């Protein structure tokens, strides 16, 4: 028996355990972890917004605050929505567990193994990228001190504007600088882990759904194999046709149901991320432009990382939607290409039904409003750039 939870999602399990979101861990310690992580993330957003109370609010200052506050609000939304839906994640994993253990054909197990490896590979890549980003972001605030110590540069020469995330803790920020820096670094680590763990978990479920679609296509291909057409009487051949078509349609329906459950459970999360993603991308592009015009090179790197992460998340989510759609449609092209004309008449009618269904446009939509695809990724990017140009015109 294959344990999907530990074998297919082993690295995801470690990441989710680190932030108290693994659905099979319900101890008091994991609950304390979850409350602590959520408190650290949400408090950082609050301390950024409190700066609006104590400082004169100019347009530039408001944009500077919100360009970072919305990005970190991302992590709060993702963490809270995944925390609320942990039981749905457990149900999805249990469905995968049942589907995987019902596979008996060696070729089908090989296909599923291939998509399992794709899940693991994607998780490793995104985890490595997150570690690099956290390392750079934690190093930026102390970069001038490192240069001053190693290269013996005078402090007056280190007036380069190291990135400062605007916060208000209602304490002497110079006196408690290292405590504030510790809080910021903790947010970087927890936020990056949250984004990586939850994102790769949902991505892994989508990749496994692609594997189910691939198995459905494989089963359709096996309906009209040469071996089956030889040395089998008409009665047995009809029974085999019916069984194979049933098996192909069954796993295809399971894959569609699995994707629909995944989308419905995280529907509100996806819609919020799309909305905040457009706003955040526009504000961060503007913040990078504003710092570039004022010569703040360290801040440019900070906002550039933020822009790249937002674009990467948007592209990956839309690309996965495109891949899912192509896998879903591939079964119909497979059905069309098999030698269906050699099957008995009642089997031809069943295959014709599948082909008619395949001729209809099939979309994996989010709340009926948004269809993940490369085309929509381009549209989101264009909208964000349009808002950026509006902000630039307002500044002038």
* Unique residue bearing structure tokens 């991505």: 203
Phi, psi of 339 (to 5 degrees): -85, 65
- Average confidence (pLDDT) over 90-95: 89
Distance CA 147, CA 194 (A): 32
pLDDT reading at 266 higher than 50: yes
Counting beta carbons within 10 angstroms of the beta carbon of residue 315, is it exposed (0 to 12), middle (13 to 18) or buried (19 or more)?
middle
Nearest residue to 287 via CA among 276, 273, 272, 298: 298
DSSP sequence for 148-178: HHHS---GGGG-S---------SS-TTTTHH
| Radius of gyration, CA atoms only, the chain | 26
Residue 160 — very low, low, confident or very high, per pLDDT cuts 50/70/90?
very low
Q: What is the pLDDT of residues 178-214, one digit of tens each?
A: 888 889 899 999 999 999 999 999 999 999 999 988 8
Strand-pairing partners, residue 370, are 366
The predicted pLDDT at position 149 comes to: 52
Which pLDDT score, from 0 to 100, does residue 42 have? 93
Which is more confident, 360 or 157?
360
Share of the chain residues as helix, strand and coil, in percent rounded to the nearest 5: 80, 0, 20
Residue 326 has pLDDT above 70, yes or no: yes
Tokens linked to 319: 């690309």
- Give the global pTM: 0.84
């Amino acid at each position: 028996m294959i344990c999907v939870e530990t074998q297919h999602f082993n690295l995801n399990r470690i990441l989710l355990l680190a932030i108290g979101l693994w659905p099979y861990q319900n101890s008091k310690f994991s609950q304390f972890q979850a409350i602590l992580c959520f408190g650290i993330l949400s408090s950082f957003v609050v301390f950024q917004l409190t700066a609006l109370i104590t400082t004169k609010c100019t347009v530039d200052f408001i944009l500077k605050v919100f360009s970072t506050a919305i990005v970190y609000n991302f992590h709060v939304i993702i963490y809270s929505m995944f925390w609320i839906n942990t039981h749905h994640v457990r149900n999805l994993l249990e469905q995968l567990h049942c589907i995987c253990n019902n596979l008996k054909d060696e070729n089908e197990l090989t296909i599923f193994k291939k998509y399992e490896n794709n899940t693991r590979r994607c998780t490793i890549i995104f985890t490595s990228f997150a570690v690099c980003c956290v390392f750079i972001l934690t190093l930026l605030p102390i970069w001038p001190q490192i240069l001053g110590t190693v290269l013996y540069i005078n402090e007056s020469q280190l007036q380069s504007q190291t990135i400062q995330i605007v916060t208000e803790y209602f304490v002497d920020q110079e006196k408690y600088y290292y405590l504030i820096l510790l809080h910021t670094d903790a947010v970087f680590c927890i936020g990056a882990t949250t984004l990586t763990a939850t994102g790769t978990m949902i991505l892994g479920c989508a990749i496994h759904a692609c594997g189910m679609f691939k198995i459905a296509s494989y089963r359709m291909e096996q309906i009209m194999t040469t071996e089956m057409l030889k040395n089998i009487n008409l009665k047995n051949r009809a029974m085999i046709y019916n069984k194979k078509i049933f098996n192909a349609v069954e796993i295809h329906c399971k894959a569609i149901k699995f994707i629909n459950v995944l989308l419905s459970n995280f529907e509100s999360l996806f819609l919020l991320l799309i909305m905040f993603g457009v706003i955040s991308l526009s504000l961060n592009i503007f913040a990078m432009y504003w710092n570039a015009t004022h010569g703040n090179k360290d801040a440019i790197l900070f906002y550039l990382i933020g822009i790249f992460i937002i674009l990467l998340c948007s592209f990956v989510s839309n690309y996965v939607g495109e891949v899912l759609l192509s896998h879903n449609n591939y079964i119909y092209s497979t059905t069309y290409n098999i030698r269906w004309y050699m099957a008995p008449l009642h089997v031809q009618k069943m295959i014709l039904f599948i082909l008619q269904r395949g001729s209809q446009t099939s979309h994996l939509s989010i709340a009926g409003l948004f269809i993940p695809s490369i085309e929509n990724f381009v549209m989101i990017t264009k909208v964000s750039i349009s808002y950026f140009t509006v902000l630039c015109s307002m500044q002038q």
